[in-house]
Amino acid sequence: MGGGTGDMKVCMYYSNSDVRCQTMPRPAPGPGEMALKVMASGICGSDVMEWYRRDKVPLVLGHEVAGVVSETGPGVERFKPGDRVAVTHHVPCNTCHYCLSGHHTMCETLLKKTHFHPGGFAEYLLVPAINVDRGSFAMPDGMSFEAASFMEPLACVLRGQKLAGIRPGQTVLMLGAGISGLMHIALARSLGAGLVIAADTIPFRLKKARELGAHLALEAGPYLPEELKAANQGLKADLVIIGFEGFIPLALDCVERGGTVLFFAGAAEGAQIAKPINDIFWRSEVTLTSSYAGAPADCAQALRLIAGGAVPVEKMITHRLSLEEAQAGFSAVAQPMEHDSLKVIILPQG
């Protein structure tokens, strides 16, 4: 990393209720690196997982990023100043056991060794050389920075559905219609799911789920399995996607024999599956699977899906805020029912 070129504003995270607009030196790129003027950066649900952040604060978060290349270091040939790009913070080595087995997001390099400096909630960030090489993507003409900032989260959704083996004609139940749930709904429709059902306890989310392609939007309660069968010719769901750990017991009651349950979202610290094994597996052939993050190929495909209108991400944005307003954004994501929030986008340039 090269030396600084003056100060810049950043959003410094201490806790969900303590987010401060501060200054720090603006990074300058070294060999293979590039500096990015951040135009849009989304707040992820993982950004407000305090138990996951508490031993690392204070820090600048933000990994759903799109912007303009402001400066490149020696050796960068793929990009030049002025290019519009979407970038992802975690990238794989492409040579380890996990990468060669197709599990790029389990790669030690992706999990622990790659990141932005300082983070997307800043006026500028440094894209390390390995991220320039395999985690930076030119934005299609006409795409907004806000839409491009969805590349990374949609890549996670896409990878999850791939690993769950989604197939055309399947019945898909999305438990939890927050921002990830809405992307799952729109993606499942675009991939040919026969019946897509959203379930949640928040009326605002159920309304948005219908707007974004859900065939049905139902209350996530004890009667859901029977309502599901009534809507699906007596069958439950072929694929159940869990967007909130509180829905785990309901998910296991809603999956059809031979079906799959995808554990997608991160859970609260210490959350467990409290269900007798025979109730899940005996005479059911049910598959429980999980996914984490997105690989570079998923990012490239996600950007194409956004460009093609298959997943109308801009319809999911509920808040657009400046760095100075970031505290309100974190509060909205941490307490969505109080703010009718789905996607909060930080616009560092004003």
To which residue do tokens 């159940």 refer? Answer: 240
* Predicted confidence (pLDDT) per residue in 80-108, tens digit: 999 999 999 999 999 999 999 999 999 99
Task: Using the predicted structure, report yes or no on whether residue 274 has a pLDDT greater than 90.
Answer: no
Q: How confident is the model at residue 267 (pLDDT cuts 50, 70, 90)?
A: confident
Over the stretch 57-70, which tens digit does the pLDDT of each residue have?
A: 999 999 999 999 99
Q: How far lies 88's CA from each of 23, 36, 107, 297, in Å? A: 23, 12, 15, 12
Local confidence band at 2 (pLDDT 50, 70, 90 cut-offs): very low
Q: According to CATH, what is the number of the domain 7-155+294-346?
A: 3.90.180.10
Q: In the prediction, which pLDDT does 273 show?
A: 80
**Cα–Cα separations (whole angstroms), residue 245 to 59, 252, 336:** 27, 12, 16
Predicted TM-score (pTM) of this structure: 0.95
- Cα 26 to Cα 118: distance, rounded to the nearest angstrom: 9
CA 122 from chain centre, in angstroms, equals: 19
- Where do the structural domains in the chain lie, given as residue ranges? 7-155+294-346, 165-290
Concatenate the DSSP letters of all residues of 227-271 into one string. Answer: HHHHHTTT--EEEEEESSGGGHHHHHHHEEEEEEEEE-S---TT-
Class of domain 165-290: alpha beta
Nearest-angstrom CA–CA distance, 158 and 138: 19
Whether the upstream peptide bond of residue 140 has omega within 30° of 0, thus cis, is no
Mean pLDDT (the chain, rounded): 95
Q: Per-residue pLDDT tens for 168-212?
A: 999 999 999 999 999 999 999 999 999 999 999 999 999 999 999
* Whole-number Å distance between alpha carbons of 175 and 240: 7
The yes-or-no answer to whether 7-155+294-346 and 165-290 have a common fold is no
- Percent helix / strand / coil, the chain, rounded to 5: 35, 25, 40
Kindly report, residue by residue over 112-134, the tens digit of the pLDDT.
999 999 999 999 999 999 999 99
Give how far Cα 51 sits from Cα of 29, 187, 335, Å: 32, 30, 16
Helix axes 179-190, 203-211, angle to 10 degrees: 30
